[in-house]
A and B are shown apart, each in its own frame.
Chain A
Amino acid sequence: MSDSIVPVKEIEEKMDTDKMWVIMGPQHPFSHGLWTLKVQLDGEIVTDAEPIVGYLHRGWEKETESREYPKIIPMADRLCYCASMTYTHLYCMTVEKALGIDIPEKAKYIRMVADEVCRIQSHLMWLAAVGTDLGSYTVFLWSMREREFFLDLNVKLCGARMTTNYPRIGGVRNDTTELFDRDILRAVDRFEKALWDIIALIDDSSIFVSRMKGISFINRETAANIGLTGPAMRGCGVDFDIRRDDPYDNYDKVDFEVPVLKAGDSYSRYMIRIEEMFQSCEIIRQGVAKIKALGKNAPYRVKTPSKVPAGTAFARLEDPRGESLMYLVADGTDRPYRLKVRSPIFTNVSSARLQSVGVRIADVPAVLAQIDMCLGETDR
C-alpha cells in the first residue's frame, strides 16, 4: 500500500521504542545468591545481558597464604556450600600432588563415594532451584526431601551435613562408620525410585518441557571455546568428563557412562544432570562394594609432612558444576605461597550473555538455572 494516506512506514520508523535495562539482582529471587544480571529488554525479549559478580569476594586465595596447609581444609569447605566435599577433596589432591605421595586405596574409594554423594545432593539442590525458577514449588520440595537422605549420609560419614571437613591431606579423617555401607545402599535404592517421581512431574508436563525445549542453543564449538564445563557443556555436545578422560583417584576402576546430548538447548542441559544422578548411584554401588572388599582394617590415611617442598602442582576434578582446578605454588614452608582456585561457575556465568540473548525474560531464570549458580566459589 504505497499510496496509503497514513504514512505507516514513517510512523513506524519514528516509533522506535526504547530498550530497557532491567537490573536483576543482587537481591532477586532468580539469582540464588548475590550476583546481578543486567538485561536489556526489547519488550519481553532480551537483546543484551551482562553478568556482574564480586559481591562475595572474600580474598579466599590471599587468605590461604597466611594459613598452614591443614587449616585450609575447612576453608575449602566454604567455597561452595553444595559441593563442599569435592572442593576439600580437590585441595587435598593438590597438596598430595605437590608432596608427591600416594594415598591408600581405601581412602581413594571413600573419597570417590563421598564425592558422588555430594554430586547427587548438589544436583538435587539444582533441581530444586530449577523448580522454583519454572514456578513449581512441588519440584522444589520433593527435591529437598530427597536431598535430605544424602545429607543424612554425610552426617553418618563425618558428622556434618554440608560443610563436611572430611578429606585430609593423605587420606580421609575417619574410616566409614558402622552400617554406613548398608545405609548408603538403602538410600541409593530408594532414591532411584523416588527420582522417577520428580522426572514424571517435570517431563510429563508440557509446560515444563516447553519452557526448556528449543531455547538458548549453544553449539559444541562455542561451548568449548567459551569455557563452559560440566553438565552444561555435555548438554551442548562436548563429550568430555574428567572422571572418565582424565581419571583421578579410582574413577578408572569403576564402570560408568558419561551422558552426552547434542541438542545444546536448555532442556538437554537439564537432562544431563538428571542422568548424571543415576550414574552417580551406579558409581556409589561399585565404590561401596570395593570398600567392603578391602576389609575393615585397611589403612585409610597416611602421615604427611607438614612442610611442602618448593615447586608447583595442580590438580583438577569434575565438580558437580564443572571442571574445577587448584594450582599450588609451594615455597618449602608450611604455608602455601599461592593457591589458585579455578571455579567452574566463574567461567560458566561469563557466558550468561551468550545464553540469554534472544530468549524472553520469563526464560532467563530457567536458562541460567542450568549453570547452577553458587556464589561462594564464583567470587572466592
Chain B
Amino acid sequence: MGELLDWINFGSDPMANAYYPFDSYNLPFDIGYQLWEILGGTIAWLIDLIFPGNSVSTWLMCDAVSTLLALVVFMLLIFLVAFVSTLIVLWEERKCLGRMMDRRGTMVGMKGFLQCVADGLKTFQKENVVPAKVDKMTYMWTVSLVIGVSVLVLCMVPLSSRWFVVDYDTGLLIIMAFFALAPFFILVSGWAQNNKYSLIGGMRAAELMISYEVPMLILICTTALMAGSFNINDIVYAQADSVWYIVPQILGAITFFTCAVAEAERVPFDIAEAEAELVEGWQTEYAGMKWGLVMLADYMRGSVSCSMFVILYLGGWTLPFIGDGPIPEIVFLLKAYVVFFFMSLIRAATGRVRTDQILNLGWKVFMPLSVFNLVIVLLLMTGGVI
C-alpha cells in the first residue's frame, strides 16, 4: 500500500522538486514563470495599491496559482515557437521551390515571409461555406481533429533537453501514435463530405497509410534498439556519445525519409489530395479558413517529419564534439530546415506516384529495406561495433 501511494505521490513531496511540475529543468516554463512573476506581480501590486491588505493579491502570488498561470504562459510559448517555425518552413519551401522552378517565390515583405501572414488574413476573411448535403457533425469534427492532432504532435516534439512538453520514457512512440492518427480522420472526412472526389481521396489516405506505416515503425524500433530506449533524450544523447545514426543506418535513414514524406502527404506521395484528377482530394469541400488551417496542418506535419528525422538520425540538438552548445534549440531547428530543404527538392524534381505504385513501393521496397536495416544493426550490435 505504501508503495502504491509513493507511486501516486511520485515517491516524495512533489513540491520538493526544484523543477516542479517537471522532472528536469524546463526553459519555456522558466520563462513563463518569470514572465508571470512580472505580470502577476504588477497586477497584484496594483490591486494591493487600490485595496490595501486584500487576500486576492496574496492568492495571486502564491506558489500553486503562480505555477498554474505560468503553465498557461508556457503553453502559449511552446505553441508560438512551434507555429513560427512552421511558418518559416512554409516560407523556406516557397522560396526554395521558386528558385528551383526558375521563378521568384513569394515577394511580400521580409524577403517574402509576410506572405504567410497575408495568406492567413485572406483565408480568415473568406466566407465559411458549408455545403448543404454534408454530414455536418463529422464534417466539422474530422477537420478539427486533423488540424488539432497536427498541432498537438507539433507541440510535443522537443526542441532540446530543456525545451519539451512531456519527457516520457515512451515519448517517441506517443509522438508517432499521434502522428499516425490523421489518416483515420481523413477517411471519415472523405465520407462525410458527400463528394466522390473526397471519398476517393479518403480511401487513398488509408491506402497510403497501410503502405508506409509498418516500415516506418520498424525503423523507429531499430533506432530505439540501438539507443536502448524510447525516450527522445536518451536517443539523442546516445547519438552524441557514439555517432549519428545516419552513419550505421544510412539505408534506414533514406527509407525513413521517404516514409516521412509519405506521412506528411507531400509530393510525390500526395495521392490523397491529387490535384490533377481529384481536384483537391479529401479537402475539396473545405472552404476559407478551414482549408487554410488544413494547409497549415500539412506543413506542420512536414515540419514534424523533419524533426523526427533529425531526432532519429541526425543527433537531434547536439553537435559532434560540442554536445549541447549554448542554444541547442536553434541547432535543432536549423537541422530540421536542412532536412526540409531536401523535401522541397524532391517536390520540385518529381511528379505524383499512382496508388498501386505506392503500395508496391511500401511492401516490396520499404519493407525489405527496413528489415535489412534492422539486420545490419543487429549484426553491428552483436559484433560489438556499436
Contact = CB atoms under 8 A, between A and B. Distances in A.
Whether A and B touch directly in their complex, counting CB atoms under 8 A apart, is answered as yes
Interface stretch (B17-25, B182-190, B270-278, B372-380): B270-278
A365 B275 CA distance: 10
Nearest to B207: A44
A132 B101 contact: no
Interface string B341-373: 000000011111111110000000000000000
Interface stretch (A67-75, A168-176, A207-215): A207-215
A109 interface: no
Contacts of A208: 350-351
A133 B196 contact: no
A357 interface: no
B354 A360 contact: yes
A142 B101 CA distance: 7
Contacts of A24: 277
Contact of A29 (B268, B271, B276, B356): B276
Q: How large is the interface on B (under 10, 10 to 19, 20 to 34, 35 or more residues)?
A: 20 to 34
Given A20-B196, A133-B276, A211 B103 contact: no
B267 interface: yes
Interface string B229-268: 0000000000000000000000000000000000000011
Contact of B354 (A30, A138, A201, A363): A363
Interface centre among B97, B271, B277, B279 (most CB of A within 10 A): B277
B101 A137 contact: yes
Given A135-B268, A138-B100, A207 B353 contact: yes
A22 interface: yes
B276 A360 contact: no
Contacts of A30: 276-277
The A contact surface, by secondary structure, is: helix
Contacts of B355: 44, 360, 362
A135 B276 contact: yes
Nearest to A24: B277
Contacts of B268: 135, 207
A136 B354 contact: no
B207 to A, nearest CB: 9
Nearest to B352: A135
A361 B276 CA distance: 10
A28 interface: yes
12 contacts: A24-B277, A136-B349, A136-B351, A139-B351, A205-B349, A207-B353, A211-B353, A362-B354, A363-B354, A365-B276, A365-B277, A366-B276
Interface of B: 97, 100-103, 196-197, 200, 267-268, 270-271, 274-279, 348-357
Interface of A: 20, 22, 24, 28-30, 41, 44, 131-139, 141-142, 145, 201, 205, 207-208, 210-211, 360-366
